[in-house]
Amino acid sequence: MISNEPQSIVAAIMAKHRALVVLRLLNDEEANGSINEAVLSDLLDTQALGCSRARLHACLRFLEQSALITTTLVGELVVAHVTREGNEVACGRVGAPGVQPFTPSCLY
């Protein structure tokens, strides 16, 4: 089982926020539900949640195992696609373990 809980408390909190931001980005109207890993990486950087490619892949695997996204491989790029469940978490309708809860005061 893949967890979204790294060892340090700082890394654990950042991982939860990163998971939420990925879902929120995928849920954005302009994304149309799908974004490739290169664009996700750039967008995470804008939220001060940038990370290595390996850490981003781990986040995407966690979200996929949690049924919040699906992924496809296009060439050498992973493309993430939000699921209905992921949409509900992104909008704050439901919570998900390992994902920071969305609230109306959330800045993401």
In a domain, 102, yes or no: no
What DSSP character marks residue 101? P
In a domain, 78, yes or no: yes
Q: What is the pLDDT of residue 2?
A: 55
* Residue with token string 């849920």: 27
In a domain, 100, yes or no: no
pLDDT tens string 46-82? 999 999 999 999 999 999 999 999 999 999 999 999 9
CATH code of the domain covering residue 49: 1.10.10.10
State the pLDDT confidence band at 1, using cuts at 50, 70 and 90.
very low
Count of domains forming the chain:
1
What DSSP character marks residue 15? H
Distance CA 38, CA 35 (A): 8
Range of the domain at 62: 9-90
In a domain, 103, yes or no: no
In a domain, 60, yes or no: yes
Q: What is the pLDDT of residue 108?
A: 85
